[in-house]
Structure 1
Amino acid sequence: MDLRGLVNTSVIGVASLFMAIGAFFGSAGSARPQSSGTSKNAAAESPPAASPLGAPNNLPDPYVPGVSWGQLPDGRKWGSTAGIAVGPDGNIWAIDRCGAHGSRGTNCADSPLDPILEFDPSSKFLKSFGKGLFVSPHKITVDHDGNLWVADNGIKDGKGQQVFKFDQNGKILLTLGKAGVSGRGLDTFDQPTEVAIAPNGDIFVADGHGEKTTDNARIMKFDAHGKFLKTWGKKGTGISEFDCPHTLAFDSQGRLFVGDRQNNRIQIFDQDGHFIAEWKQFGRPSGIYIDKSDVIYVADSESRNGEPGYGYNPGCRRGIRIGSAKDGSVKYFVPDAAPYPAAADSTGPEGITADAGGNMYGAEFTMDVKKYVRK
């Protein structure tokens, strides 16, 4: 199937839903709740055709099941991953939390391992770097020039809460934020999640992975040299408000797509922060990737039924929804291997990207990277 041959279709109607914002607090090493109204051992059910918010569960799946990918150095296994990106040369870059499980903890703080890894398209390991710089790296972005951007949302011993720009050999070209300092100021972050680079080089940072009502939930904009330009957003459920802005992507028009994860939606803005649209038909967005043809890939790793609280998005099956960034139509659905309804723990990809052939790569919180080959 040709994912780039998308045609305009009407978006599934969006029904109203009571949005309950509870807080499930994990351990210091993980933001994920350990239990929910749905047991891990509960019998699998058939999901509805679409969730109450309009996310379809029964579309064609044009991929073979994902398989573990990446020839890691001897003795090394994947830790929790959340970020993966394809560079201009076709090589794949991934973030690994230093072989450890969890997020927003201190899993790389004292590790001898490099968290940034490069592979060629055949999965051959090429190089790694970043040892000693990060506390808990989150997402990775490769810009048009092949430079790498990584957000660190951990904090320990004077490190963390920063964004780094690297060249492909690991040289630091720019840092944003204050090392080891979290805050609400214009020069600090509080659990930054991902970076997106505009065509003119402006830098956009999603800032705010926390569940507390006092935590940051905003977009920060800087020029190409790191000078602060503006910010927008606050904690909430309204338009231009966020609850865990977890992922960012630009389309070909230069519109900024924000994965507003805990609100189970994508919000779209222009580069001055003006609201354009709200989409709920792609599920609960942990990761967003938009290719040059405006095919949008959205990874949902957390939707669950059960009691209101973290991850609550009833009737929505986890998986990857693929459609058009131009009109919001959803054309394909790659279901998570986990049975429906899922338990509270994360499964499937949190980070998502695709190569020039349309093959997908998913970075999984549950300690793996998988490749999905088109049928």
Structure 2
Amino acid sequence: MAWRLVSLSIILAMWGAHAALAQASYPCVNDAPDPYQRGVSFAPLPDGRAWGSTAGVTVAADGTIWAYDRCGANSCAGSPLDPIIAFSPDGKVRRHFGGGLFQMPHGLTVDDAGNVWVTDNAAKDGRGMQVYKFSPQGQILMTLGKPGGGEAPDGFFQPNAVAIASNGDIFVAQGHTARGDKSLILVFSPEGKFIRSFGGKGSGPGELDVPHALAFDAKGRLLVGDRNHNRIARFDRDGSYLGEWKQFSRPSAIVVTRDQTIYVGDSESQSRDAAAYAYNPGCEKGIRFGKLEDARVLGLIPDQQPMSVSSTAEGVGVDKEGNVFGAEVGPRDLKKYLKK
């Protein structure tokens, strides 16, 4: 009898752990309240230059706002301008670097040590499609991938995002266009040695098509913005599939704050033409947020400047006060949303 009770306890514990991981997926939420003021342009660029497209913004632990500008255009190919910029919380430029290095900066994150990680999503003339680790002062500390791209794991094809696990492992998501066969998550050691990959082209559980964003929660689970499937796919750190969420719409950006609030930027959804790009019936663009404990959408910052394809924030950052920063490709701006 005792062994039966022990076995039952183990089964119940396993069921409880599974249930905690398997929060339900709900229909897309469009009617959540908006507790933010209308977004306003956050900061001027160095030398008074105009913003180009940007899809990357993040807030470091010290309050520094890191963003990039695609050199006044939607590409930095051939430009000497510094695309990576650090701003103070009041919008003043602290430093900038990276001139002449990037073709198209794309994914941006800052690790716990303050180092800045940026992916280069395009290739031209044998350059690009690499992942860079910078010190906060702009010194290159590590480079992953071959110049101009290549086959995994030695090279990347359109690296979209980078995230750093609590043990220092480096996770890179690749595959941005119709070449969905290249949609992978690649994992490297803190020293840059390849460990494994997972994902791959497909629409089934654990398969991906344009993994556009990466974020870890406090339990080490990886959230992947599986954009062409209009869902967030969830994995453990070893790549085992845990489930999906549809309620946050079409994810271009994912941020998880220290209090385990998730913010998801949808810059693309359209419900009009089923044959057109970014079809996501019943979903509107905007920044949705909620608590990870139940994954329910609690709020929505709506798209305030609707455009045909890409508007509102493709990149999202959140400061300690809960103010939101949105990096925009179409409108070519970095906006700040203050709480009401």
Same-fold call, TM > 0.5?
A: yes
Match status 1:278 vs 2:251: no
Match status 1:251 vs 2:217: yes
Q: Secondary structure at the match of 1:369?
A: strand
Q: How many residues align?
A: 318
What amino acid maps onto 2:161 in structure 1? Answer: E
Shift of 1:212: 3.0
1:260-307 CA-to-partner distances (Å, cap 9, x unmatched) read 001000001000000112000000000010001110000000000122
CA distance in structure 2 between the aligned counterparts of 1:221 and 1:122, rounded to whole angstroms: 36
Shift of 1:337: 1.0
- In structure 2, list runs of 5 or more residues that go unmatched: 1-19
2:101 to 115, 123, 133: 133
CA distance in structure 1 between the aligned counterparts of 2:304 and 2:97, rounded to whole angstroms: 32
Show the counterpart of 1:374: 339
CA distance in structure 2 between the aligned counterparts of 1:222 and 1:326, rounded to whole angstroms: 29
Shift of 1:87: 1.0
CA distance in structure 1 between the aligned counterparts of 2:317 and 2:48, rounded to whole angstroms: 26
Match status 1:194 vs 2:161: yes
Shift of 1:329: 1.1
1:83-112 CA-to-partner distances (Å, cap 9, x unmatched) read 1011121010001111103xxxxx212102
Instruction: Judge conservation of contact 1:95–1:139 (CA < 8 Å) in 2.
Output: no
CA distance in structure 2 between the aligned counterparts of 1:245 and 1:213, rounded to whole angstroms: 10
2:44 to 45, 50, 71: 71
Shift of 1:199: 0.7
Shift of 1:182: 2.8
Q: Secondary structure at the match of 1:322?
A: strand
What amino acid maps onto 2:165 in structure 1? Answer: A
Show the counterpart of 1:158: 126
Shift of 1:12: 8.1
Q: Which moved more, 1:258-267 or 1:299-308?
A: 299-308
Show the counterpart of 1:182: 150
Show the counterpart of 1:51: none
1:4-31 CA-to-partner distances (Å, cap 9, x unmatched) read xxxx9xx8874xxxxxxxxxxxxxxxxx
Instruction: Judge conservation of contact 1:160–1:180 (CA < 8 Å) in 2.
Output: yes
CA distance in structure 2 between the aligned counterparts of 1:12 and 1:175, rounded to whole angstroms: 38
Instruction: Judge conservation of contact 2:28–2:247 (CA < 8 Å) in 1.
Output: yes
What amino acid maps onto 2:213 in structure 1? Answer: T
CA distance in structure 2 between the aligned counterparts of 1:227 and 1:333, rounded to whole angstroms: 40
Instruction: Judge conservation of contact 1:140–1:194 (CA < 8 Å) in 2.
Output: yes
1:268 to 212, 217, 234: 234
CA distance in structure 2 between the aligned counterparts of 1:123 and 1:225, rounded to whole angstroms: 34
CA distance in structure 2 between the aligned counterparts of 1:187 and 1:232, rounded to whole angstroms: 15
Task: Return the index of the structure with the highest Cα Rg.
Answer: 2
Instruction: Judge conservation of contact 2:25–2:246 (CA < 8 Å) in 1.
Output: no
1:332 to 296, 299, 310: 299
CA distance in structure 1 between the aligned counterparts of 2:173 and 2:278, rounded to whole angstroms: 19
Instruction: Judge conservation of contact 2:173–2:185 (CA < 8 Å) in 1.
Output: yes
Match status 1:92 vs 2:92: no
1:208-237 CA-to-partner distances (Å, cap 9, x unmatched) read 1121344x1010000100000000011111
Match status 1:347 vs 2:311: yes
CA distance in structure 1 between the aligned counterparts of 2:115 and 2:24, rounded to whole angstroms: 38
CA distance in structure 2 between the aligned counterparts of 1:134 and 1:266, rounded to whole angstroms: 28
Instruction: Judge conservation of contact 2:289–2:298 (CA < 8 Å) in 1.
Output: yes
Shift of 1:319: 0.5
Shift of 1:67: 0.4
Identity of aligned residues (%): 52
Q: Secondary structure at the match of 1:196?
A: strand
Q: Which one has a larger percent helix, Structure 1 or Structure 2?
A: 2
Instruction: Judge conservation of contact 1:260–1:266 (CA < 8 Å) in 2.
Output: yes
2:324 to 360, 368, 375: 360
1:314-364 CA-to-partner distances (Å, cap 9, x unmatched) read 11011011101222111111111145xx63x20000000100000000000
Q: 1:116 to 1:13 in 2, by over 3 A?
A: closer
Instruction: Judge conservation of contact 1:299–1:321 (CA < 8 Å) in 2.
Output: yes
What amino acid maps onto 2:273 in structure 1? Answer: E
1:316 to 283, 301, 304: 283
Shift of 1:71: 2.4
Q: 1:357 to 1:314 in 2, by over 3 A?
A: same
CA distance in structure 2 between the aligned counterparts of 1:13 and 1:273, rounded to whole angstroms: 20
Match status 1:81 vs 2:46: no
Show the counterpart of 1:44: none
Q: Which moved more, 1:254-263 or 1:67-76?
A: 67-76
Show the counterpart of 1:291: 257
What amino acid maps onto 2:157 in structure 1? Answer: D
Match status 1:240 vs 2:213: no
Q: Let me know the Cα RMSD of the aligned residues.
A: 1.6
What amino acid maps onto 1:373 in structure 2? Answer: L
Shift of 1:74: 2.8
Q: Secondary structure at the match of 1:249?
A: strand
1:178-227 CA-to-partner distances (Å, cap 9, x unmatched) read 011332x311110001100001100000011121344x101000010000
CA distance in structure 1 between the aligned counterparts of 2:241 and 2:187, rounded to whole angstroms: 15
Instruction: Judge conservation of contact 1:182–1:191 (CA < 8 Å) in 2.
Output: no
Q: Secondary structure at the match of 1:74?
A: helix
